[in-house]
Chains A and B, each alone.
Chain A
Amino acid sequence: MSQTSHGIGGLSYDAKKRPWPAEFNVFLALVILVVAFELIGRVFLGDSFLFNTRENVSGLFNEQRLQIIILQVSIVGIIAIGVTQVIICGGIDLSSGSIVGATAMIAMSFAQVATVNGNPNPKAMFIDYGWTDLPVIVPVLVAIGCGLIAGLINGLLIAYTRIPPFIATLGMMVTARGIAKWWSKGQPISFPTDSFAAIGKGLMPVVIFISLALLFQLILSYTKYGKHCYAIGSNEDAARMSGIKIANHKVLVYAIAGILASLAAVVLCSKNLTAQAGMGVMYELDAIAMAVIGGVSLSGGRGSIIGTVIGSLIFGVIISGFTFLRLDAYYQEMVKGVIIVGAVVLDQWRQRRRAIGA
């Protein structure tokens, strides 16, 4: 960026002293974490975290582990893309995990087959109506519709009743979970069509996650919508004075977050070949954590999807690293909590340092 090397009005500016992007720090943290697991593994377990040590498998890296890392974060990662936009806009979305649950149940019931192994599908909800073996587009559109409605309700509540996003989305969190349980009276919904099952097969969740992340990173960087997200999160009054239609924008942001949560639900229940009312519990917090770890400021105005993607990888590496070190899953949860709080403390500290001009 050579054009930034000169100032306006005769002032000189040293482009080299420009603060590096926050994403770089996050990436550095990821590298440090991987190196740490690698070293601990080599010293204490005599095994490598990152590299391939098995003779019967080719390749430099331990591809299996890398695949698991990215696969297990990609579904929550899709939610985190939406949550990132909400947080940049100065809000918060606690409802995404429950939206995943409700959407998975509803969408799956439109994706079921009529017969399993020659017998009528016992779990098919709409078999009496003949709504079985529907084309894959139907459950996907139903899912998007569910996410859109939930997101719109969130957005309209926040924009027009002016209640805090925390409360509005908390209400949606409880309500959507209730809908998930009510939909099939607590029964799991299973046996999807092959075409629906293909959505979550193999590395498809990763492909969907990365494509959506790229799409929304471009939207945030290059469109009016993105610019207004940062403007509203950074100074809502200024944005209003500048003529940005705050209410419309907020409704749009929460609607997008809802749709992304519903897409995550499609991928999740397709991958698991079943939908259960308890799906997506705590996903909202994991998604918020990914964003915060990725440098998205909870006070709004700062962050990026790229940061969130790196944040999600940090998340995946920690979980995978703990498994690698053969630590119990309990410890993972405990450490997750510490990391989330740590990331917010770090963000506050960064802000204070900036405020005093260091």
Chain B
Amino acid sequence: MSDIVLKTENLTKHYGGVHALQEANFELRKGEHVAIMGDNGAGKSTFVRQITGVEQRTDGKIWFDGKEVNFAGPIEAREAGIETVFQNLALADDLDVPSNLFLGREKVLFNLGPFSILDRKAMRKATEAALIRTAVKIPNLSSTIRHMSGGQRQCVAIARTATFASKLIIMDEPTAALGVQETAQVENIIRTLKENGEPLILVSHNMRQVFDLVDRIVVFRRGKIVANLRKQDTDGNDIVAYITGAKTGQAELQAA
């Protein structure tokens, strides 16, 4: 039990009459990279939103880092050590890289409440260290996010999650809008995280990417987890069968 980072039991979310997520049982171990796959509306993002406290679950329990947790919001989840790269990036376009990395948790020289003086040098140094650690390539730290390519933006968002020595990183389709080279860069960062032993949940539609990067694949269909397979026990066709519903997976899950 001690090496389990995240565990959900009967995690359920209803939006009015819509059962977006039903009784999801999920486990993530230390250093493990798990992919969540599924069709649009299968419940992947809903699942992520319950874990990260963006929404409040209808039912079920979540354990994180050995304790049962009830996050009131994404900030609490982040403080507990869950860092999320959201689909919509959540970067401020007019700020530079260090400001975005430290947005909402700035290092300060003097604490004067809202008028606390920022420690810009320390934030800059920490940013450089974080980017090097995650092998992110950014030409100029001082330029604003607005001037960066989609890949660079995504790298900054990922570097932000990796900067804060988090216990769990969740990425919601980090390469959905990226070109080939940019995708490769993001994937390299994910490999670096794997080498550093940082656990990760990757929501992705990209079969090749998933098989390249993760240890285990969880498939959602119509709000339910229909498959939970180690990479070496499955293949692309098998996963597609689960995603489309050709294979239901109930028998396998119960057997396991």
Contact = CB atoms under 8 A, between A and B. Distances in A.
Interface of A: 1, 3-4, 7-13, 15, 18-19, 219, 222-225, 227-228, 230-231, 233-235, 237-239, 241-244, 248-249, 252, 301-302, 354
Given A7-B137, A10-B137, A227 B118 contact: yes
A129 B97 CA distance: 59
Nearest to B93: A234
Contacts of A231: 92, 95, 99, 103-104
Interface of B: 74-75, 78, 86, 88-95, 99, 103-106, 108, 112, 114-118, 120, 124, 128, 131-132, 135-143, 146-147
A8 B93 contact: no
Nearest to A355: B146
A8 B78 contact: no
Looking at chain A's contact residues, the main secondary structure is helix
Contacts of A252: 114
B92 A238 contact: yes
11 contacts: A1-B142, A7-B137, A8-B136, A225-B114, A227-B99, A227-B118, A231-B95, A234-B93, A243-B105, A244-B104, A301-B93
Contacts of B137: 7-11
Contacts of B88: 237
Contacts of B117: 222-223
A302 B93 CA distance: 10
- 7 tightest Cβ-Cβ pairs between the two chains A and B: A242-B104, A9-B137, A301-B94, A243-B104, A234-B94, A242-B103, A7-B139
A235 B90 contact: yes
Contacts of B120: 222
A223 B118 contact: yes
Contacts of A241: 74, 86, 90
Contacts of A219: 115
A302 B61 CA distance: 44
A229 to B, nearest CB: 10
